[in-house]
Structure 1
């Protein structure tokens, strides 16, 4: 028996129950989004290198400049007339495309094309040899339409000779680019002025003829391009047509073509665009491409608006966005806005939490899980599969563990203020049969890519290995354990208690909390009975000494609690020493009863009638000579919350004042209060049964309390809670709330009581700062329900650290015990209120 293990504890079995074999300990990490723009396939900023002519906007770029400095620029767009590519029949100028394309491809980028047959910058966008071969056409002048002596020539877009020659060109074009993995998309640009699908400024065809031509040209492109995405301009059905009568675009949708808007900001707001509704037909299944008006033209008419551009990305669910102007000018003028748009454009696959065992046995199955969210505006249309890769100290690949059970294209994008998430748990084996895998410690990397574990997609994470794998932790690979069902091997390790291998979560920028470390300190398998209600208190007068306890309860949630199990630690929970019982005086700060009050000579009005729920809130010091105790009073089945102001003396607490009480008319009212003081203000949070938690403030040291306010986010949106306690972590500069809440991923968890969160409190508005929310105890799947956490306890242990303890408490009769967790909140600045809060004063009882 190891000396840091209680006599009630038994050696771990290897959990070989003819099923999953896994070490009981596991770490969970919540990676931080780096905020970087991602260079991923199927999305990004698009540089208009050729733009209806060979000149703009790549002519200023050096051969070595492929806009690697422009955040999120993945694609070079080559919009060029047919005549420039095939000046003579069958003679192609492919270098016109290959040269700029390779500049982008060389750095991992993509290329996109539009080949047009009608331009006003070139009198012959369709090669002259096509006309000489017998193709019919029409001359026209810009804006005025057909004219016998017109400057420009358009083909008859249904002329047999023209279609034959175009078919031949597209066949040659497709031989190079259809299915080419370096091609992002190809526009259907063979009809209309600039390839935009209209003739209203050129040959002015009747609408019926335009629709007939467009459908024919769609079919011609679909015939040749069976693997590379095709796109069509929204102008094919009228640039400002809001009627929903969109025969061409609906036909394109049926033929597998995607949507391109040509263009935003041709007019100023409120007519900056018209077809976000049209785009909604396409965005569920294929990427949306947005093009803006030429930057210099949009700014000239004062139509350019970066806030509107970001809104367009949101409204259209855009995957691609044009750089339609001189890139250096646009970037210099709008650097910050471009960075913000890059974080939303397309998809952004983010692992919100990763859980992986501390130790795995070579060849034996184990489980690992990832909670994924797509924080971009568009689906990951190309999909991808998550994989863990284990690497040794030399960077060698030890094991590749691919999860083919879930394609990340199924993740819903984050739109409308929502961030849907999916938790996937999969079983893996390291070194099963082969290759040879030696015991040792290995780095764990996470990636997304092909089914075979080849990384393809960039994630917004740090510690990239250069191949789009991201280091997230370490694992010990141990020798295989062989045992029969239900039998512990003779050499099985004993349960090791204490804080080790924590999951680390960085605090939000501006949060009081700099970092959070969370770990299981008592695994559920380490004891026979179900243990809940963990608590800890610092030992007065003994620097660094802490007592911890948890108690036995029933498995059905009937609150039939039994004996306490008490431990001591002097090294920050790295080890736990079992105690026969609590140290006298340590636990006097909580479970206050009327008998603890020194009431001789005290007016009756200052003495509370009862002291309910003091088990969930120790008294606090508001100054060296005054304490504040939250409690409840019960009338029938209804609770009210209030506070007692008292003076500590060697003979007990002398009551000074009983505050006003607050309740509500739902269920049991308000109960399980917790109080905190910041400066001269006091705050109380309470549990309720109306779908909320409540907070109230006192400006006079807890003597009177303002009306309870439901907890909300700083946006004003309610924080939905399901009959759950809340507690404060107190710092001299403010408060952090500890809580559970209703989320999309915890509907099956008892009262939505997992995961456990923290968030900073806005003391001015009594709301939670949503950007600071962090998970400190993760949601752990089990039996299709997940492990809810029970009551939790919050206590300051030093000027730099406040601890939170909780136990997983299933309440449904399942035979497994939950783990007991410790989360250490490390403050960004030392907590100058620490000494008063823990009561290291001569006046403390």
Structure 2
């Protein structure tokens, strides 16, 4: 009889336990009525970037700090500058050129990314004409003066032979020193492979138009991977596309995937591309981005905004390429479409931030929210009444309406605020919240261990996501009126009952 009675009690306990678990999900609070998809959400690991040094020491600098600091969702400065500025003599480095920018803007909360180029097309400064430093030429590196397929003579921009042994030796020494100084810095978003091609884009269309294949490009990939072991490496899709042999294209693409390298598209709304690739919004190689975006962030770069406007391709002026081939779409539509195809986490343009924002204030916020992740909590499920010393499941249902995943782990912070305060932290599970298929929701359960000494009363239940890596809150697409002074969202109220004796 004892055994039978014990079994009965155990069975009864199991049934009651199931009932308690079911009761823990008895009240679902709908949060959809509290959504706000119009406000700018400035969040970590996503957003706008500004070309600051745009293949020239003087290009696209901000007239005043507020041009960048008040730009919604400005995440980082993209420093595109030639090697010659940083190593004017062999082994003598002028890091101050970029350090003064880094020190100033990282202190104000912005991040940094790099492309160090080895070939520019302007000649107004020695560092432009010889983007690969002149001392490399004098050391015996092979190269010629080229511009748009023609040799120019010594007045033109110099282009190295990108597989020349002397060039590669000096380049490796520079990359070793560059990475030793900057690799893995907490403010460094990514570094581009910039050592082949015009402006570091991987092609030579404005220079010799020499084709470089798999083996030659692999050397450059390996150099960056050898020294940048802690930083995301990015390359232009041109780096792959300009390989003539299709098998070698696929081979270098697969090789870079194996190394964890991701892509940027530098050609959105380039005039030629509007006619050539209108159905993909000037994205030429969507298949390569399709292979990386689920695991690595991708980057969108709009053509020089001033040039786009001048050619009539922003508004679709009569006789513009956009009017001819754009099927009634605007430049903004092309940028939206390109961002969707690329699944871009970081978005930018060549140009001045204040000019862009003055002309595109609503689009700036729209694209900021859609790039990367954009998180909407649908509901929270929690009991009306909780007892001290007991465990309960709280369930939150999430949707990611951005174009990309959350690539970094975030913490869910839960707070019960009433007669006393109880705080909880959980792994949010956010890296599982994929943006496709659209409208997919992700239920996540979190175990609340109610402190045994929590006094009875009515408590506000509050939540927020938090990036420990960046020490920043992750804002949600909820009404900002729900935010308290510590940027918790109040989602409902609960009752803590008196502790049973």
Q: Report the equivalent of 2:135.
A: 129
- Cα contact 1:403–1:451 (8 A) shared by 2: no
Q: Report the equivalent of 2:500.
A: 481
Q: How does 1:252-267 map to 2 (within 5 A)?
A: 252-267=256-271
- Cα contact 1:283–1:378 (8 A) shared by 2: yes
Q: How does 1:654-673 map to 2 (within 5 A)?
A: none
1:469 aligns with 2:488: yes
Deviation by residue 1:421-480 (Cα, 9 ceiling, x = unmatched): 011223220226xxx644444432212235899764222232334655323233333443
Distance 1:85 1:300, change over 3 A: same
How far did residue 82 of structure 1 move?
A: 1.1
Distance 1:445 1:294, change over 3 A: same
Q: Report the equivalent of 2:158.
A: 153
Q: Report the equivalent of 1:412.
A: 434
How far did residue 151 of structure 1 move?
A: 2.1
Q: Report the equivalent of 1:661.
A: none
TM-score if structure 2 supplies the norm length? 0.82
Q: How does 1:705-716 map to 2 (within 5 A)?
A: none
Q: Report the equivalent of 1:379.
A: 405
1:403 aligns with 2:426: yes
- Cα contact 2:268–2:303 (8 A) shared by 1: yes
Residues in 2 aligned to 1:24 and 1:219: alpha-carbon distance in whole angstroms: 53
Residues in 2 aligned to 1:332 and 1:219: alpha-carbon distance in whole angstroms: 42
Q: Which has the higher helix share?
A: 2
- Cα contact 2:467–2:474 (8 A) shared by 1: no
Distance 1:15 1:248, change over 3 A: closer
Q: Give the unaligned 5+ runs of structure 1.
A: 1-13, 483-845
- Cα contact 1:135–1:155 (8 A) shared by 2: no
How far did residue 300 of structure 1 move?
A: 2.3
How far did residue 239 of structure 1 move?
A: 6.6
Distance 1:299 1:247, change over 3 A: farther
Distance 1:100 1:194, change over 3 A: same
Residues in 1 aligned to 2:472 and 2:466: alpha-carbon distance in whole angstroms: 4
Question: Paired residue for 1:457, among 466, 470, 474?
Answer: 474
- Cα contact 1:352–1:371 (8 A) shared by 2: yes
Deviation by residue 1:234-286 (Cα, 9 ceiling, x = unmatched): 11133799979444333222211001111111126343331223211211211
Residues in 2 aligned to 1:169 and 1:212: alpha-carbon distance in whole angstroms: 21
- Look up the SS of the partner of 2:66 in the other structure: coil
- Look up the SS of the partner of 1:166 in the other structure: helix
- Cα contact 1:445–1:471 (8 A) shared by 2: yes
Residues in 2 aligned to 1:474 and 1:108: alpha-carbon distance in whole angstroms: 35
Residues in 2 aligned to 1:453 and 1:400: alpha-carbon distance in whole angstroms: 20
Deviation by residue 1:791-827 (Cα, 9 ceiling, x = unmatched): xxxxxxxxxxxxxxxxxxxxxxxxxxxxxxxxxxxxx
Question: Paired residue for 1:312, among 330, 338, 341?
Answer: 338
How far did residue 227 of structure 1 move?
A: 2.0
Q: How does 1:193-208 map to 2 (within 5 A)?
A: 193-208=198-213
- Cα contact 1:135–1:160 (8 A) shared by 2: no
How far did residue 183 of structure 1 move?
A: 1.4
Q: Report the equivalent of 1:588.
A: none
Distance 1:412 1:99, change over 3 A: same
TM-score if structure 1 supplies the norm length? 0.50
- Cα contact 1:401–1:453 (8 A) shared by 2: no
Which aligned runs of 4 or more in structure 1 are off by greater than 6 angstroms? Answer: 21-25, 239-244, 451-454
Distance 1:407 1:36, change over 3 A: same
Residues in 1 aligned to 2:456 and 2:262: alpha-carbon distance in whole angstroms: 51
Q: Report the equivalent of 1:685.
A: none
Q: How does 1:181-580 map to 2 (within 5 A)?
A: 181-208=186-213, 211-238=214-241, 245-267=249-271, 269-270=274-275, 271=277, 272-304=282-314, 305-391=331-417, 398-404=421-427, 407-414=429-436, 418-431=438-451, 437-449=454-466, 456-461=473-478, 462=480, 463-465=482-484, 468-481=487-500
How far did residue 78 of structure 1 move?
A: 0.8
**How large is the Cα RMSD of the aligned pairs?**
3.1
Q: Give the unaligned 5+ runs of structure 2.
A: 1-12, 123-127, 315-330
Residues in 2 aligned to 1:43 and 1:105: alpha-carbon distance in whole angstroms: 16
How far did residue 160 of structure 1 move?
A: 3.4
Distance 1:390 1:105, change over 3 A: farther
Q: Which has the higher contact order (CA 8 A, sep 6+)?
A: 2
- Cα contact 1:457–1:468 (8 A) shared by 2: no
Residues in 1 aligned to 2:177 and 2:387: alpha-carbon distance in whole angstroms: 56
How far did residue 326 of structure 1 move?
A: 1.6
